[in-house]
Structure 1
Amino acid sequence: MIVGYARVSSSGQSLDVQLAALAAAGAEKIFSEKQSGSHASNRAALQDALEFVREGDELICVRLDRLARSVSDLLTICERLVAKGVSFRCIDQAGIDVTSSSGRLMLTMLGAVAAFENDIRRERQRDGIEAAKVAGVYRGGKARIDPEAIRALRADGLGPSEIAAKLKIGRASVYRILANSAAAARGNAI
C-alpha cells in the first residue's frame, strides 16, 4: 500500500497542492496536518502514519522538509520505516533508497541542505524584523486576545476559568490581563 503524508506549517496555508501530488503518485491513504515541522514527535498525523504503515508498504511525501525539518528527525523517521520493512519515497527528490548506504548518505545530505535553507530563511526574517524596528515600522504580530472582552466578561461575573473557556484562551492570559487592568486602575487612582 502507498501511504502519503502531507504537512503545512500553519492553518492559513493550503494542503491542496500536496494532496493532489500524493494522489497522482498513487497514495491510497493520506495523512495530513497543519502543524509546525520543528519536531516530529509533536505531529499527530505523522505519528499515525508511522504507526499505520506495515511491512511492504511505501510512505511518500512531496518534499523532505514536509516530513522533517532536522536531519536527526529525518534519520529517526527513516530508521523506523526501515525497521518495519517500509520503503520511503519523496516525489520531488527522487532516487532516495533508505535501505542502502548511498541512499542514506543522499538522504542525510538533502536533509542537511533543507535544514540549512530553513536556518537561512529564519535569519533573513530576523534581519527584516530588526530593520523594521530600527525604521520604526515594526508593529509586531496581530493581537490575538481582546482585553476588553475579558474585562466585560469579568464585569458580567464570570470567573477567570470561565472566561478562558469562553474565549478559548489560556487562564494565565486572563489572569495577566486582569492583573494589568487592576494595576492600571490603581495607577490612575493615585
Structure 2
Amino acid sequence: MMKIGYARVSTTGQNEAAQVDILSRHGAEELFIDKASGTSREGRDKLAEAIRFARKGDTLMVTRLDRLARSVSDLHAITQELQAKGVDLVVTEQHIDTSTPTGRLMFTMLGAIAEFETDLRKERQLEGIAKAKEEGRYKGRPVTVDSEAILAALAAGEKPIAVAKRFNVARSTVYRVVEQTHKSA
C-alpha cells in the first residue's frame, strides 16, 4: 500500500512547495505535480499519470479538493476511476477519506460547493464586465496596430504578407485595416 501525492498549481508563476511539504508530511512516497488549470482534466498529464500509477490498496492524496478538480463531474469521474482500481482518496487539509462513508459524503458536499463557487466567480466576472461596458470603462484590448503605417507600406507597393511580417500582425489584420479605411472614406 503506497501513498501517492498529487499537487497542482494553476500557473507556472505559482509555487507548489507548500502542497508538496504537506503531502510529504502525510507520508507521500511518490509525488506528481501539474502546473495547469483545475477547471478541466485537459492538460493535466501528471494527474493522469498518478491515476495510472496507483495500484489496488494505494491512496491518492491531495491537500484540498480544488487541487484535484473544480467541478463535481470531474471529481466524481476521478473518484470512480480510483474506486475501480481499489484506490482510496485522502484530502489532507479537509480531513476527507473516501474509504469511509462519512468521507465519501464530505467529498460529495465539498465538491458541490467548489463547483458552486466557480460558477459564482464566473457570474460575478461577467456582471463586472457588463457594468464596465455600460459605464464606458471596458472597451476591450487597446488598439496596437499602426493603421497609417500599414496603409503607407501598402501604398508604397509592399505586398500584404510582407507588411504583415514587418509589423508583426496577421495578414487578416492588414486586410481589415484596408477594409476599415474604405468603409470610413
Contact map agreement 1:41 1:47 (CA 8 A) in 2 = no
Taking the TM superposition and a 5 Å limit, the aligned residue runs for 1:1-190 are 1-94=2-95, 96-140=96-140, 154-155=161-162, 174-184=170-180
Contact 2:33-2:46 at 8 Å conserved across structures? yes
User: How many residues are matched?
Assistant: 172
Q: Identical aligned pairs, as a percentage?
A: 43
C-alpha deviation, 1:142, in angstroms: 7.9
Pairwise CA RMSD of aligned residues?
3.2
Q: Which runs of 5+ in 2 are unaligned?
A: 154-159
- After TM superposition, the runs of 4+ consecutive aligned structure 1 residues lying more than 6 A away are none
* Larger CA deviation: 25-34 vs 58-67: 25-34
Give me the TM-score of the superposition, normalised by structure 1: 0.72
Q: How many angstroms does 1:88 deviate by?
A: 1.1
* Partner secondary structure for residue 12 of structure 2: coil
> How far, CA to CA, are the matches of 2:102 and 2:18 in structure 1?
30
What is the distance in 1 between the residues matched to 2:106 and 2:145?
A: 51
Higher-Rg member (1/2): 2
- CA 1:54 to 1:147, structure 2 compared with 1: closer, same or farther past 3 Å? farther
Cα distance in structure 2, aligned partners of 1:125 and 1:177: 29
Alignment partners' CA distance in 2, 1:5 and 1:137: 41
> Using the alignment, how far apart are the partners of 1:82 and 1:175 within structure 2?
52
**CA gap 1:31/1:179 in 2 versus in 1, 3 angstroms:** farther
TM-superposed CA distance for 1:178, in Å, is: 4.1
Q: Assess, with a 3 A threshold, how the Cα gap between structure 1 residues 24 and 72 changes in structure 2: closer, same or farther.
A: same
Q: Which residue identity is paired with 1:111?
A: G
1: CA distance, partners of 2:99 / 2:119: 28
Give the deviation of 1:28 after TM superposition.
2.4
List alignment gaps of at least 5 residues for structure 1. 159-166, 168-172
Please tell me whether the aligned partners of residues 82 and 99 of structure 1 are also in contact (alpha carbons under 8 angstroms).
Answer: no
Q: CA deviation at 1:72?
A: 1.6
